[in-house]
Amino acid sequence: MRSMIKALVLILGVSLGGCVSYSHHDLPAVENWPLASQQQSTKPTAYVRFTALHTFNGEQRAGGTNVSAWEKVLIDNFNQSGRFQRVTTDKVESDVYVYASLRNEETGNTGSAILSGITLLVIPTVADNRLVLETVYKDRDGKVLGRIEKSETVTTWMQLLLVFALPFNQSAEGVIQHLTQSTLEEAVRQKLI
């Protein structure tokens, strides 16, 4: 009976543990979306190459990123921008070549995370993720047209009973969408696309 109570408490503790993430909103909102222009008679085609890198406290880590989902968000926003005739990840001849690199720079205290895990999140822990999207635009001859870097910070709290805050959680995909739209807005402002 005693082991059953311990198991029940363990299961209850794990199921009530949660985390909530929120963006710092470092970037202003994109004013006009989509970015299509009435003056743009012909739209360029674009090839986009996407890479992602995850670091924890400055050291490169394997995993920790959902590269295919993040790439889909980026490509969808390039398509929805209204600035391109075609956007592809297939290496075909295009008018604009975009090399997008997303760095997930995570910082946190490993000791605090271990302590929080051992206590089943009774003792909370926190981590910050700085998402940095760097895009390099090249023309069909390989000449660099410009480089844009935008970043947004997301803080994640992990604590017992934060399971009730899950509906208010900020998704990484939402932050990547905002980064992509802000990057494209800047590319239009700089006349790169």
pLDDT tens-place string over residues 113-123: 999 888 888 88
Asked whether the beta carbons of 99 and 49 are under 8 A apart, the reply is: yes
Mean of all residue pLDDT scores within the chain: 87
CB 14 within 8 A of CB 120: yes
* pLDDT tens figures, 92-119: 999 999 999 999 999 999 999 999 888 8
Half-sphere exposure of 101 (CA within 13 A, CB side): 10
